[in-house]
A and B are shown apart, each in its own frame.
Chain A
């Protein structure tokens, strides 16, 4: 199980973060989803079903935590670290990336609609056999994940094509 945890955690982490959770909240949500899974292991028949179940559980749990956070705003002073501030998504990252093309890619990625960013972050993490699981977990018909991914990548490539630091001389 330890290997499965190490293999799936980067994916689940992104699923939680894509819902706008701060780092500590996202880590709690990932752990809670695994604990819920343990109770239902007997119902799960394949590795794909396991992945789909965990993605779905992580998204639901992340929504729940996000909605709760909106209803009960923390009292002033309770947040003693930046970690407690909800994160709107991946950081700009320009300072961390030294490669000009990486910076261009990340800039373009951040301009995509939320739905595209979530899908691409997730499909970038998983291998092909899990695509069906991803479709199921994102609530998309299996037949539409390919076209949606294609449209998102096309948007991204159009943005990149317009950026001289990506396609430059």
Chain B
């Protein structure tokens, strides 16, 4: 097989049929060997379907699973999300009937409203953190979810939004 001479070179530089066939085959092999996780599209679509776009995005900074049980339902799972203005830490504890309880902390601590978004048709839930920054959502169905922390009233700070995560 000979290497073809390149045509006029530019952003649209020419590809011969052999090059194109190789690129097409590479795309197929890449899809086969390293596919995106199956739930990624759904998770992204859910996360960005926010009503209002003015929000600071918190990064997932730590994820830990603790507990001796081999089954996921016997474990406690904790996730830390960090935004510039606030850190949100949650711990997810299994409850009966495939539900979970979310124990959360805001740092710095503040008595703010926290919204838990769930996929349609489930309505969002709201909790208010106490002065220590603690909040709880009880009996939440497993699946994907997202947290929004409202800013302190009167300020100019935006809301904080977490990525979608799996309960």
Contacts and interface: CB of A to CB of B under 8 A. Distances in A.
24 contacts: A9-B36, A17-B34, A27-B40, A31-B164, A34-B44, A34-B48, A41-B53, A91-B34, A93-B29, A102-B29, A105-B25, A106-B29, A109-B26, A120-B23, A124-B27, A145-B13, A146-B12, A147-B6, A150-B6, A150-B9, A153-B22, A154-B3, A157-B3, A161-B1
Contact of A128 (B12, B33, B47, B59): B12
A124 B24 contact: yes
What DSSP secondary structure best describes chain A's contact surface?
Answer: helix
Contact of B41 (A6, A36, A125, A153): A6
Given A91-B33, A124-B27, 11 more contacts: A10-B36, A32-B59, A36-B57, A68-B61, A105-B29, A124-B24, A124-B30, A143-B10, A145-B13, A153-B19, A161-B1
B148 to A, nearest CB: 11
Interface of B: 1-3, 6, 9-15, 18-19, 22-27, 29-34, 36-37, 40-41, 43-45, 47-50, 53-55, 57, 59-61, 64-65, 161, 163-164
A80 interface: yes
Contact of B44 (A9, A96, A102): A9
Contacts of B47: 31, 34-35
A35 B163 contact: yes
A1 interface: yes
A146 B27 contact: no
Interface of A: 1-2, 5-6, 9-10, 13-14, 17, 23, 27-28, 30-32, 34-39, 41, 68, 78, 80, 90-91, 93, 96-97, 102, 105-106, 109, 120-121, 123-125, 128, 131-132, 135, 142-143, 145-147, 149-150, 153-154, 156-158, 160-161, 166-167
